[in-house]
Structure 1
Amino acid sequence: MIDRGDTEEPGTALVIAAAPVGKGRLMDASSVLPALAAVPPSVLTGTRAATVIELADPLDPQTVLTRIRAAATAEGPLSLYIAGQLQLDRKQRLPHLALARTTPTTVRYTALPWHWLAGELAIRRPGTTTVVVDLVADTEAWQHLAAEGLTLGHGTRLYGRIAPASPPRRGSAEPAYLKACAAIWRSGARPGPAALHEQAAARAGLGAEGDALLLAIGGVAPVGGDRAQAASAAQATPAAPAAPAAPAPEAAVAVADPHPVILAAAQAGRHGEAAAAAAAWEQQELRTHGPGSAQAIHWMEVRADLARLAQDPGLSCELWMAAAHARLARHQAPDDPDVEGAVDRAHHQWEQIRDLSRARSLAPALVGLRRDVPGRQRGALQVLQRRLESLHTGPAQRGDGRRNG
């Protein structure tokens, strides 16, 4: 699926075939494993040297997350092939990849949240990751995807298809798209990504089995369409497999406003997920608008506030200081409310740090910033300096009030 001309750098392929055991199974996901196993590993990765890892009907989302995390740290190209079904958790209404023990009432605890996958892949170098999916969605998940789309963030290629679950009388669906990819590869053909996507969709006869969303390049879009067309395709017209989808900016296929979802994750105690999502948005804005842009600074400040919610005042202080410096570098005045607000928040978070050595290490930068941005609270610099003097007379303590999320 990756057209890299057989690079010298070793590649990794992670194949995940997951579905609930029993009557909750909407797709016979593991049936694709023999077909993919017959494909040379180097074809799955697009590299001469290749490592292939298979997860067949995994039970525990943490185990799957650990494997994804390990694969995401690989230096070379990474390819993920995922067959299975998407369901929404009942509390937050977010997409999850169902695993062996998943039931409609236990999705939140027994399935893999899609945003976990997005968060792990966000750390990778743009252009080195390709995800190929063959998924079915239950009724609620299908309606959610039609309205909100599905994305993995900037820099990750996403190909494949999502189809609505078949009626119970028709039995489990087949991962026809991935099987078609495997058949094309086994024939000896090596088409580029767009051509393979087109050929696999046509070979699988996706238009013949009902509505489907075809995924290509940046996120969800039926072939030749945007989010509005995606909703139309999900309600009435099957996506035509005759041509690959046009690249679309992630903003056109992601949630309209990611802030409520990120905040909800933090408030639920899932601080790592919230931080990873915010970091992914920051990286997208950095690539789109550049370092020092207002958009990138905004997400830096979101990360700072998430660190506060995670009770990591040291990190929050660092991020607020970085945001203040970035705004000053944009020639915002020291008395600009946004600049003053960032410095005031950095100062407040610094005062919450319980690890004295950590507080001491951050103090010089904060003092320098306070000299440049005195703020509207009279005597803030003097208060900071007195507090710093007291730190130098006290013993170092361990811990800074941080809790793991």
Structure 2
Amino acid sequence: MDAASVLPALAAVPPGVLTGTAAATVVELADPLDPQTVLTRLRAAAASPGPLVVCLAGQLHLDRRQQLPHLALARTTPATLRYTALPWHWLAGELGMRRPGTTTVVADLAADPEVWQRLAAVPGLLHLGPGTPLHARVVPAPRRGEPTTPEYLRARAELWRSGARLSPAAAHAEAAARAVTVAPRPEPVFLTPTPAPAPATTDPAPPVPPTRTAAPPAPPIRTASVAVPVSVPRPPRASVTGSAPAVGVPRRPAPVPAIPPAYAPAPPPAPAPAGAPPVDPHPAILAAARAGRHGEAAAVAAAWEHDALRRHGPRSAEAVHWTEVRADLARLAGEPARSCELWLAAAEARLGMLQRADDPDVEGAVDRAHHQWEHIEDPVRARALGPTLVDLRRRVPGRRPGALAALTRRMG
């Protein structure tokens, strides 16, 4: 995917046209190298309460271990995918926290053969949450040396520049028609959101799969870079597994006994329709995670976290609960760095709520962050999270001696 080729067309669109406001800020990431950098910029943009438009151009690859799509960055290779590409469910997690109706994602993507096959089997693979519509063209990635161009995104830019006031559905249809005319091969799949179903009475509403056309077979592929033109503070536990496994503080260089799990009651679920019993989303989220649908589980949990933030505020037990659910989901997905980051956020949030440093919930969050940090294989990510963890360990030493000393020795 020649992602950078669409940047001039997007740059010519007045930012206010993208958001429908008098003024707007544009953040452009051309050929970004580090997924954490992309995540940081995305999180900063998502923190704004106003309208947000995210335009993506690049190539999708499948993490074979987790069966999750990742957006390739400038240095992504098949061997380094898990460490150099942006997990698609990170997008869902960050954007799912925003108020419904304020976010639009427009994407032009090339999918490697494995992602292409997964799209045919799992229509909701690229779902970003019930409040985040995705309008996208997905094509099978071309043969090496035959890059495809983001014609759909280019057509959207032309429509924005023309001043045409089209509904999102009409703009998607018009851009899709132009893209097919300009680049009829390979056959694309166009994704567009469908209306959300009525609220369930016993289980939370599942993610809504986008509508799509038939998927042709995919040719062999290459790895591509990605451009992310245009477009929280993580607000402030509970394990979605019901009984969290015992987690240990570092056992290097000195062995430290395992820390028993801490427990917290689940917060009250969002109100159900009149006359219906309350909805408990935890069983469905856990079932999705155990079935390997980690992106789906993360997106649903992020949506519930957003609802808790809206109803109760960032300094609330309900919001902290869902941050910790997301942290445990990241653990189940085999993402220790992401899990560590979320547990750190939960611990900071609890301290911000004036909970004591020796409170079992605070100690449990820091212990779990420490445990996940020990499992981070990428030394760059471990070093990036280390100072925050050290600072928390000094404030929350925990009940097992040697945790801070072991951490500082390893950091040293």
Change (3 A) 1:87 1:187: same
Change (3 A) 1:218 1:101: farther
Q: How many Å apart are 1:122 and its aligned residue?
A: 1.8
Question: Paired residue for 1:259, among 278, 282, 289?
Answer: 289
Q: Does the CA contact (< 8 Å) of 1:354 and 1:400 recur in 2? A: no
Change (3 A) 1:112 1:261: farther
Q: Does the CA contact (< 8 Å) of 1:82 and 1:134 recur in 2? A: yes
Distance (Å, rounded) in 2 between the aligned partners of 1:143 and 1:50: 38
Distance (Å, rounded) in 2 between the aligned partners of 1:87 and 1:32: 21
Q: Is it true that 1:195 corresponds to 2:170 in the alignment?
A: yes
What residue in structure 2 maps to residue 117 of structure 1? Answer: 91
Q: Is it true that 1:175 corresponds to 2:150 in the alignment?
A: yes
Question: Paired residue for 1:45, among 8, 19, 28?
Answer: 19
What residue in structure 1 maps to residue 104 of structure 2? Answer: 130
The one-letter amino acid paired with 1:154 is P
Change (3 A) 1:30 1:64: same
What residue in structure 1 maps to residue 82 of structure 2? Answer: 108
Distance (Å, rounded) in 2 between the aligned partners of 1:285 and 1:147: 30
The one-letter amino acid paired with 2:304 is E
What residue in structure 2 maps to residue 141 of structure 1? Answer: 115
Count of matched residue pairs:
272
Q: How many Å apart are 1:187 and its aligned residue?
A: 2.7
Change (3 A) 1:202 1:302: same
What residue in structure 1 maps to residue 214 of structure 2? Answer: 233
Q: Is it true that 1:162 corresponds to 2:138 in the alignment?
A: yes
Change (3 A) 1:398 1:79: same
Change (3 A) 1:41 1:361: closer
What residue in structure 1 maps to residue 128 of structure 2? Answer: 152
Change (3 A) 1:127 1:104: same
Distance (Å, rounded) in 1 between the aligned partners of 2:85 and 2:106: 19
What residue in structure 1 maps to residue 325 of structure 2? Answer: 303
Q: Does the CA contact (< 8 Å) of 1:90 and 1:107 recur in 2? A: no
Any residues of structure 2 matched to 1:325-336 within 5 Å, and which? none
Change (3 A) 1:213 1:302: farther
Any residues of structure 2 matched to 1:68-87 within 5 Å, and which? 68-87=42-61
**TM-score where L is the length of structure 2:** 0.55
Q: How many Å apart are 1:204 and its aligned residue?
A: 1.1
What residue in structure 2 maps to residue 398 of structure 1? Answer: 396
Distance (Å, rounded) in 1 between the aligned partners of 2:286 and 2:180: 32
What residue in structure 2 maps to residue 391 of structure 1? Answer: none
Distance (Å, rounded) in 1 between the aligned partners of 2:60 and 2:136: 14
The one-letter amino acid paired with 2:72 is A
Question: Paired residue for 2:160, among 185, 192, 197?
Answer: 185
Q: How many Å apart are 1:285 and its aligned residue?
A: 9.2
Distance (Å, rounded) in 2 between the aligned partners of 1:45 and 1:104: 36
- Select the structure with the greater relative contact order (CA < 8 A; seq sep ≥ 6): 2
Per-residue CA distance 1:312-364 (angstroms, 9 max, x = gap): 79x79x99xxxxxxxxxxxxxxxxxxxxxxxxxxxxxxxxx9943x24999xx
Unaligned runs of 5+ in 1: 1-26, 220-225, 237-253, 266-272, 320-352, 363-396
Q: How many Å apart are 1:59 and its aligned residue?
A: 0.8
What residue in structure 2 maps to residue 28 of structure 1? Answer: 2
What is the SS of the residue equivalent to 1:42? helix
Question: Paired residue for 1:279, among 282, 297, 301?
Answer: 301
**TM-score where L is the length of structure 1:** 0.56
The one-letter amino acid paired with 1:162 is V
What is the SS of the residue equivalent to 1:182? helix
What is the SS of the residue equivalent to 1:79? strand
Q: How many Å apart are 1:175 and its aligned residue?
A: 0.1
Distance (Å, rounded) in 1 between the aligned partners of 2:159 and 2:29: 23
Of structures 1 and 2, the larger Rg is shown by 1
Select the structure that is richer in helix. 1
What is the SS of the residue equivalent to 1:156? coil
Q: How many Å apart are 1:301 and its aligned residue?
A: 12
